[in-house]
Amino acid sequence: MPADLIQQLLSVIQAETQNGYEDSAVANGMQAFLPEWLENAKNNQLSPNLTALVEETFGDYSRSDSQTRAGAVQTFIETIKQRKQNAQSSQDSDPASTNKPPAKEKPAASSPRRGLGLDAPLTVLHGVGQKNAERLTKLHLSTLDDLLHYYPRRYDDYSKLSTIDQLSSGVETTVIGVVEHVDTKEIRKRKITEALITDSTGWLRLTWFNQPWIERQITPKTTIVVSGKIDHYLGKPVINNPEWEKLDKEQISTNRIVPVYPLTAHMTQQWLRKIIYKVVDYWAPRTPEYLPAAIR
């Protein structure tokens, strides 16, 4: 049972915490325990996103020193906690947005119908029609349970973002700016969309390849947040194929902390946050608390 597997893992984590992260909670250490646990998780159809998080966090546990192990355990616990708190973050940071997925679909039911379990398909959610469901499957999201355990890859704190004049080459960064210009041109049968943004400290060029629809979504005077690796071209900062989303005045003025999820084509952060919030808001209170009291 998935619940038993989760409890088993958390019992090991709790024992490791009590033993000072000596990799002694199970025979032959985490390196022996983890492969078998992951195989059982796969066979019992535990959420792929949760199993991926476990593998990423504890894959090198046995080869690490005690300090690194302690950090891995705490990171895992905090990630699980943050996921439970994420519903409120998503609700606070995601007012109605005009930046919606291009496809206009007839919505499904407005909320999960009574009697549906976590194995229900995502099309039971308002706003998830067949096309959006197909996009979500590219992220290995097919059921409500998958979405409930879909974790952000980072959180952006709008009060601590870099300004354009602080950008350095090779660094992953997030910047807020106002669009000054955007256009799409075709070079050697490849469509290139370029936008220029400013935050009053400087200018940043953004480039997307073969994504011409972005020009219709980003218009001059629109405030956006962009993330990606900084490069320089002719001495000027540029980000190629950045992640981006529109912002409004409320989001900027309140300096909110927002989750940032992995996406696929024709999908936006705001839309995915809303969908995840619906699932977390409805199901989190109805889902057993697996974290032992000692490590909550």
Over 60: is that where the pLDDT of 254 sits?
Answer: no
In the predicted model, what is the mean pLDDT of residues 88-100? Answer: 47
d(C-alpha 21, C-alpha 26), whole Å: 12
Average predicted confidence (pLDDT) for the chain:
80
d(C-alpha 219, C-alpha 202), whole Å: 19
**Residue 191 pairs with which residues in a beta bridge?**
186
Q: What does the pLDDT read at residue 5? A: 76
User: Mean pLDDT: which of 42-51, 84-93, 254-263 is highest?
Assistant: 42-51
Cβ count near 37 (within 10 Å): 21
Q: What does the pLDDT read at residue 241? A: 92
Please work out, in degrees rounded to the nearest 5, the angle formed at the alpha carbon of residue 191 by the alpha carbons of 200 and 104: 85
Reported as a single tens digit per residue, the pLDDT across 183-207 is 999 988 899 999 999 998 999 999 9
Burial 107-126 (b: 16+ CB within 10 A, else e): ebeeebeeeeebeeebbbbe
Would you tell me the crossing angle of helices 269-283 and 66-93 to the nearest 10 degrees? 100
Q: 221: pLDDT confidence band, cut at 50, 70 and 90? A: very high
Structure tokens at 125: 């959610």
Over 70: is that where the pLDDT of 112 sits?
Answer: no
pTM as predicted: 0.53
Residues of the chain with CATH 2.40.50.140: 159-255
Candidate CATH numbers 3.10.129.10, 3.40.640.10, 2.40.50.140, 3.40.50.970; the one for domain 159-255: 2.40.50.140
Q: 259: pLDDT confidence band, cut at 50, 70 and 90? A: confident
| Residue partners of 259: CB distance under 8 A and separation at least 6 | 86, 89, 90, 152, 154, 155, 273
Cα torsion 160, 161, 165, 170 to 10°: value is 120
Structure tokens at 68: 């690194």
In the predicted model, what is the mean pLDDT of residues 111-139? Answer: 79
Q: What does the pLDDT read at residue 29? A: 85
Over 90: is that where the pLDDT of 96 sits?
Answer: no
Whether residue 59 contacts residue 34, with contact meaning beta carbons closer than 8 Å, is answered with yes
Q: What does the pLDDT read at residue 269? A: 85
In the predicted model, what is the mean pLDDT of residues 286-291? Answer: 60
Q: What does the pLDDT read at residue 110? A: 44
Q: What does the pLDDT read at residue 289? A: 59
Q: What does the pLDDT read at residue 199? A: 93
Over 60: is that where the pLDDT of 292 sits?
Answer: no
Q: What does the pLDDT read at residue 230? A: 93
